[in-house]
A and B are shown apart, each in its own frame.
Chain A
């Protein structure tokens, strides 16, 4: 088990008004992502609980790319990871952001 935290500044807030969304499941090779709109519009925070140690650098890169591509300002994103590959994490984050943008 490893716990990781990241905090990013964004250029804008994620569109939409949905207060929270959840996607994915905690299972081997998968992850659960909880998104909550509870921060300043130019801030995004990540709290990650991962079953696999030693990938902090990859997590930092995946999170930074997600922030650059989706501009998820205002969100706290909590992740329960069951050892998902980076591509699954990226996809799940993109899906979570889209859920938050839905009316």
Chain B
């Protein structure tokens, strides 16, 4: 007779072995290693919660202290490779295989370990894609997650950085997996229940509060005049032109400059209420002046940001907040919102090639994708119109009955032609291709594919790729905004002027932008301290951003 309950029986056995280390569901931090060694089995698929920001660091240290003779060959399935321990466990033989999304701070080390064969790589995913696979073929056997507090029944309060937790728990708890949560404190009553207790098997009171990275704080003091010029072009040439109200911003200084120009430059252009009203966005401190000036209707967040808690609590009309008053973020929902309900994604990249493919991979760093390829793609499953989407669709043209033409999401690359140390952003061939060859990857790690990109904005101008009708036009449109890089200097000057006459390339002077406006005095806030003032003292920047 078929046994249909093997997974459930196995789960019971794991729990049985682990219970001796717990008092009910509660496990002291000192017994984490015992707990993990009791639960884990060789070859398990494990999600060690490493989000964009929040890190289950106590459990990560515990896992890396496990005996590799007992715990080995784990298959890690987690969105962020952020902490040193996330990679230590591969060196120790505790983990073997990896499927992930983002490895920003560990990008250099992960590249070395991939070259060295210490990690068996499944794939680098977008967030939404990895989450999707949690429910199909990468369901975790064990999830090690992080929250702010829990009660003794396991009811979990994640705090403002809910991020990936509900998704990870959903996939693990409802498919016979074991869920262990580390919390900063065990309390009698949690401020709100983000994860119901019957989905949590064990709660570990961590030795110190979990680590959160302030990833989204851009000091206005570091915004350059070139970035201000590009922000003016984006606002006048794209936001105003297409009437973009629903959008997502990347995390670079270029988009921070746009946020800081809304209450000044965009206000002067009479755009208030007409653009940038509804957002899928982390709580960027640089958006505070726009929020305070009444520009923003609402924001749904992937995660939170260090120092923004009090401010968010005081602005529930703008942010999604719980019954306790604090932010409720959710990466899976916000990624979905960015994909289907936003008309524009704008972000930066490290390399763009002659067709418009872009990548943040360089030959010695594998930074992963995070959410950008998802935000920066045209969702073919979209069926609701908006003026912005329809206009972009008309510009893209195409063959066949115009009544059967779908709209287009605007995907804008905002790049300075030269990056740090005069490294050109425009290249003939992406480093990602070299990397794919070296690592024997079936699929080169491309951040945004050329057929999804609609505009490229540089300090030299805007290239509207929707209007290009041939590959040749497209290449010259890209060369025509590539500045003094080799790609830019390799342009066909006459063809670029023809593209300019057709509005495919637009220079600042074509847009009526005054170069003298490209001045830091145009920024609504010129320092972190200005942001604190704008917030009425509610924004509390982390120490590393304070210089007063």
How many Å lie between the Cα of A62 and that of B459 in the bound state? Answer: 13
A69-B509, A86-B418 known; A91 and B460 CB under 8 Å? no
* Contact assessment for B509 and A86 in the assembled complex, using a CB-CB cutoff below 8 Å: no
How many Å lie between the Cα of A90 and that of B458 in the bound state? Answer: 13
Tell me, yes or no, whether A98 is within 8 Å of chain B by CB. yes
Tell me, yes or no, whether A56 is within 8 Å of chain B by CB. no
Task: From the candidates B459, B489, B514, name the one contacting A90 in the complex (CB within 8 A).
Answer: B459
Tell me, yes or no, whether A26 is within 8 Å of chain B by CB. no
Interface string of A56-92 (1 = CB under 8 A from B): 0010011000000100000000000000011110110
A61-B484, A61-B489, A69-B509 known; A87 and B226 CB under 8 Å? yes
* Contact assessment for A85 and B418 in the assembled complex, using a CB-CB cutoff below 8 Å: yes
How many Å lie between the Cα of A67 and that of B6 in the bound state? Answer: 77
A98-B514, A98-B516 known; A88 and B483 CB under 8 Å? no
* Contact assessment for A86 and B484 in the assembled complex, using a CB-CB cutoff below 8 Å: yes
Tell me, yes or no, whether A48 is within 8 Å of chain B by CB. no
Using CB atoms, name the residue of chain A closest to B508: A94
Task: From the candidates A86, A95, A99, name the one contacting B483 in the complex (CB within 8 A).
Answer: A86
Q: Which residues of B contact A99 (CB under 8 A)?
A: 516
Q: Which residues of A contact B489 (CB under 8 A)?
A: 61
A58-B484, A61-B484, A62-B484 known; A87 and B418 CB under 8 Å? yes
Tell me, yes or no, whether B99 is within 8 Å of chain A by CB. no
Using CB atoms, name the residue of chain A closest to B224: A88
Tell me, yes or no, whether B229 is within 8 Å of chain A by CB. yes
Tell me, yes or no, whether B225 is within 8 Å of chain A by CB. yes
A86-B418, A86-B483 known; A91 and B229 CB under 8 Å? yes
A58-B484, A61-B489 known; A88 and B515 CB under 8 Å? no
Q: Which residues of B contact A94 (CB under 8 A)?
A: 508, 515
Tell me, yes or no, whether B282 is within 8 Å of chain A by CB. no
Report how many residues on chain B are interfacial, defined by Cβ distance under 8 Å: 21
How many Å lie between the Cα of A98 and that of B514 in the bound state? Answer: 8
How far does the Cβ of A63 sit from chain B's closest Cβ, in whole Å? 11
Tell me, yes or no, whether B422 is within 8 Å of chain A by CB. yes
How many Å lie between the Cα of A22 and that of B328 in the bound state? Answer: 51
Q: Which residues of A contact B518 (CB under 8 A)?
A: 91, 95
How many Å lie between the Cα of A91 and that of B422 in the bound state? Answer: 17
* Contact assessment for A91 and B484 in the assembled complex, using a CB-CB cutoff below 8 Å: no
Interface string of B454-481 (1 = CB under 8 A from A): 0000111000000000000000000000
How many Å lie between the Cα of A86 and that of B438 in the bound state? Answer: 34
How far does the Cβ of B81 sit from chain A's closest Cβ, in whole Å? 32
Q: Which residues of B contact A91 (CB under 8 A)?
A: 225-226, 229, 459, 515, 518
* Contact assessment for B515 and A95 in the assembled complex, using a CB-CB cutoff below 8 Å: yes
* Contact assessment for A98 and B515 in the assembled complex, using a CB-CB cutoff below 8 Å: yes
How far does the Cβ of B294 sit from chain A's closest Cβ, in whole Å? 31
How many Å lie between the Cα of A90 and that of B225 in the bound state? Answer: 11
Interface string of B417-436 (1 = CB under 8 A from A): 11000100000000000000
Tell me, yes or no, whether B416 is within 8 Å of chain A by CB. yes
How many Å lie between the Cα of A62 and that of B458 in the bound state? Answer: 15
Q: Which residues of B contact A90 (CB under 8 A)?
A: 459-460
Q: Which residues of B contact A98 (CB under 8 A)?
A: 514-516
Q: Which residues of B contact A86 (CB under 8 A)?
A: 417-418, 483-484
How many Å lie between the Cα of A94 and that of B226 in the bound state? Answer: 12
Using CB atoms, name the residue of chain A closest to B417: A87
Task: From the candidates B225, B460, B508, B516, name the one contacting A88 in the complex (CB within 8 A).
Answer: B225
Can you list 11 A-B contacts (CB < 8 A)? A61-B484, A61-B489, A85-B226, A85-B416, A86-B417, A86-B483, A88-B224, A88-B225, A91-B229, A98-B514, A99-B516
Q: For the A-B complex with A85-B418, A91-B518 known, give 18 more contacts whose Cβ atoms are closer than 8 Å.
A: A58-B484, A62-B484, A69-B507, A69-B509, A85-B416, A86-B484, A87-B416, A87-B417, A87-B418, A87-B458, A87-B460, A88-B224, A91-B226, A91-B229, A94-B508, A94-B515, A95-B516, A95-B518
Residue ranges of A at the interface with B (Cβ–Cβ < 8 Å): 58, 61-62, 69, 85-88, 90-91, 94-95, 98-99
Which are the 9 A-B pairs with shortest beta-carbon distances? A94-B515, A86-B484, A87-B459, A95-B515, A87-B226, A98-B516, A58-B484, A85-B418, A95-B516
